[in-house]
Amino acid sequence: MAGPSIDFFYEFASTYSYPAAMRVADVAAKAGVAVRWRPFLLGPIFADLGLTTSPFNTQPAKGRYMWRDLERTMAAAGLPFAMPDPFPQNSLLAARVATALPDDGKRAAFSRAVYRAAFGEGAQIADAEVLGRLMRGIGIEPAPVLVAAGSDGVKQALRASVEAAKAHGIFGAPSLVTGDGELFWGNDRLDQAVAWAARSA
């Protein structure tokens, strides 16, 4: 249990969290690094900066570029991609459900299913029915998880994850934090982050 690990901080409304979530487990496994799946919310962090929506919405040229860059990134990765509408989606319920699931493989499988639905199939991930269907698809009975997702304990755990993200200096998603506290931002830094975690353990 003393092997290297990495904290993977992700937000279900975040575009580049999608390709990162789909590959982080494979990249880390090849390097002998364990992944801790840390769903969090960017909304409270953006709000601290006075931002009320995604920077991709307030800067049209940057937004247009991002969608094209994502198309290229997803095509190269062989992943389906459809622009979510609305963007960003409300990710609160999905983040609470992910937090309610144990980080023993179920949370990772659910998270990948949410990303594929949100960014690959245009699904509405704020909808409990949609999340229930995704859970059933990976063999999880949704009712008790949805109940747990509404509990004070899960709400507090998710708030603690947002505070942990802030404490690590996180300002965007995905972000990765190594055991020695090194922060890496973005799908573009995933491989470097995992290599750092493997070296510094």
* 1 makes contact with its own copies (CB under 8 A): no
- Least Cα distance to 173 among 72, 4, 24, 42 occurs for 42
Tokens 């991709």 -> residue: 56
Residues 63-82 that bind its own copies (CB under 8 A): 64-65, 68-69, 72
Give the interface segment with its own copies, choosing from 55-63, 81-89, 106-114, 139-147 (CB under 8 A). 55-63
- The CA distance from 182 to 29, in Å, is 19
- Least Cβ distance, residue 25 to its own copies (angstroms): 22
- Least Cβ distance, residue 158 to its own copies (angstroms): 20
- The CA distance from 66 to 70, in Å, is 6
DSSP notation for 80-97: -----SSSS---HHHHHH
Using CB under 8 A as the criterion, what x/- string covers residues 127-156 for binding its own copies? ------------------------------
DSSP notation for 92-145: HHHHHHHHHS-TTTHHHHHHHHHHIIIIIS---TT-HHHHHHHHHHTT--HHHH
Tokens 């990162």 -> residue: 20
- Least Cβ distance, residue 172 to its own copies (angstroms): 7
- The CA distance from 179 to 181, in Å, is 5
- Least Cβ distance, residue 131 to its own copies (angstroms): 30
142 vs 172 by CB, closer to its own copies: 172
By CB under 8 A, the count of residues binding its own copies is 20
* 56 makes contact with its own copies (CB under 8 A): no
- The CA distance from 134 to 114, in Å, is 7
Instruction: Pick from 120, 132, 142, 172 the residue near its own copies by CB under 8 A.
Output: 172
Residues 34-53 that bind its own copies (CB under 8 A): 49
Q: Give the interface with its own copies as residue ranges (CB under 8 A).
A: 49, 58-59, 61-62, 64-65, 68-69, 72, 169-172, 183-185, 188-189, 192
